[in-house]
Amino acid sequence: MSAQINWNLLRTTALAVANNAYAPYSKFRVGAAALVDDGRIITGCNVENASYGLTLCAECGIISELARSGGGRLIALCTVGNDQPVTPCGRCRQLLWEHGGANMLLEVNGSPRKLSEMLPVAFPEESNFVNPESKS
Ligand code: THU
């Protein structure tokens, strides 16, 4: 891994971007900041919708921003909601797994934890699934 993890910077960046959240329904303003393997820091905030189920979590914004800004692998993520630490929901852990994998770190109540611990036996890398597209 090339990039050093500055957790304080990730946290302050997540706190700042939470100000851009669009959360009129839950009033829970979420900001996320992630370190990419080339050293850049990307951000996301939650964007809600009147049909609550279509809400976009801050981590969805992170995934979109990762692709938009050139791709790469996620190394570390910090999420805050209403200025307190937040752990990503189950759906977002799966999204993060796709672009960060087992060794990606999440800040959980102040301590880094591996995604493999937060999403044990994840699909597909730790199951028997073989993508037919990738068969030679
Ligand atoms: N939310 C996030 O953006 N990220 C999380 O990790 C947890 C939940 C959002 C979704 C919704 O807009 C609000 O927080 C309340 O659930």
- Does the predicted model carry a pTM greater than 0.85? yes
**Predicted confidence (pLDDT) at residue 125 exceeds the cutoff of 70:** yes
The pLDDT, as a whole number, for residue 135 is 61
The pLDDT, as a whole number, for residue 47 is 98
How many angstroms is it from 23 CA to the middle of ligand 1? 9
**Predicted confidence (pLDDT) at residue 132 exceeds the cutoff of 90:** no
133 is catalytic: no
How many angstroms is it from 6 CA to the middle of ligand 1? 23
Identify which of 27, 45, 46, 95 to mutate to test ligand 1's pocket (most ligand atoms within 8 A of the CB). Answer: 46
How many angstroms is it from 43 CA to the middle of ligand 1? 14
CA distances from 37 to 26, 49, 53, 85 (A): 33, 32, 32, 23
Q: Catalogue all structural domains in the chain, each as residue range(s) with its CATH number.
A: 2-128 (3.40.140.10)
E-only strand ranges, 29-134:
30-36, 41-45, 74-81, 84-85, 105-108, 111-114
The pLDDT, as a whole number, for residue 1 is 47
Q: Compute the average pLDDT of residues 50-64.
A: 97
Q: Which atom of ligand 1 is nearest to the CA of 87?
A: 6
The pLDDT, as a whole number, for residue 27 is 98
